[in-house]
Amino acid sequence: METTEIRRLIELEDTHWWYRERRAILRRELRELDVRRPPLRRALDIGAAGGGNTRVLVEAGWDATATDYSETAVELARERGLRAVHADARALPFASGSMGLVTAFDVLEHIREDHLVTEEIARVLAPGGHTLIAVPSDMALWSAHDHAVGHVRRYGRESLISVVRRAGLTIDRVWSWNVLLRPLVLRHRRRSAGSDLKKTPFLVNAGLSAVVRAERYLPVGSRKGVTLFLRARLV
């Protein structure tokens, strides 16, 4: 992701419906992991940008480190009081078996050798450790937005499952998110000329937030959405 996109993301992530609800999903998953008692409380947030998700990990009691390929992102995360390390997700500068949790939200789709990333996730996880991954879903949604933010692919369920299993990880769950708004996103993306990272008017933001929050209570995770989430573990 380019520097301008990272700065724009940081400006938006505390209020924008998309980022707020994804952090809610992360919090929910962390609560479930707490029940499972992960072996270590060390966490790694790959592709952390300005560290919005890293802050969630810290607030939940994890000893979290943000990593990003962008030096600007690392500097911005540090300015926000987070531990941050400049790193290539294909060659992480962390010891094998040193993490109880690895998060990678919006990372795999930026890297052609995505299997190297999942292999590194598996390497740094301790036995019994978990990973949470989010990727853009469905090539039917491919648009100028994907070009603008540096995507090389969008994923189907099987392609995501395949690259995670290839790394030797055991998949616990795969589900779609932003299902209810997918028709609206599809229509918008067909007309888009660039990145969707833009400030949303207050009332629109509130309305979209209400719709996407409804997915917390509706059984729609098996349908096509805009994003795929996956939770896996190292046995």
State pLDDT tens for residues 164-188. 999 999 999 999 999 999 999 998 8
Closest-CA residue to 59 (of 87, 31, 32) = 31
For 48-90, the pLDDT digits (tens) are: 988 999 999 999 999 999 999 999 899 989 999 999 999 999 9
DSSP β-ladder status, 42-46 and 63-68: parallel
Domain ranges of the chain: 3-233
CATH of 3-233 among 3.90.1560.10, 3.90.1150.10, 3.40.50.150, 3.40.30.10:
3.40.50.150
Residue range 98-125: mean pLDDT, rounded: 97
Q: Phi and psi (nearest 5°) for 161?
A: -60, -40
Give whole-number Cα distances, 87 to 1, 45, 73, 165, 216, in Å: 14, 11, 11, 23, 34
Token digits of residue 213: 């929050």
Flag whether pLDDT at 104 surpasses 90. Answer: yes
Higher pLDDT, 11 or 156: 156
- Cα-based angle 210, 213, 216 (whole degrees, multiple of 5): 150
Q: What is the pTM of this model?
A: 0.93
For 15-59, the pLDDT digits (tens) are: 899 999 999 999 999 999 987 777 799 999 999 988 999 999 999
Flag whether pLDDT at 221 surpasses 90. Answer: yes
Packing angle, helices 17-36 and 52-59, rounded to 10: 30
Model confidence at 2, pLDDT cuts 50, 70, 90, reads: low
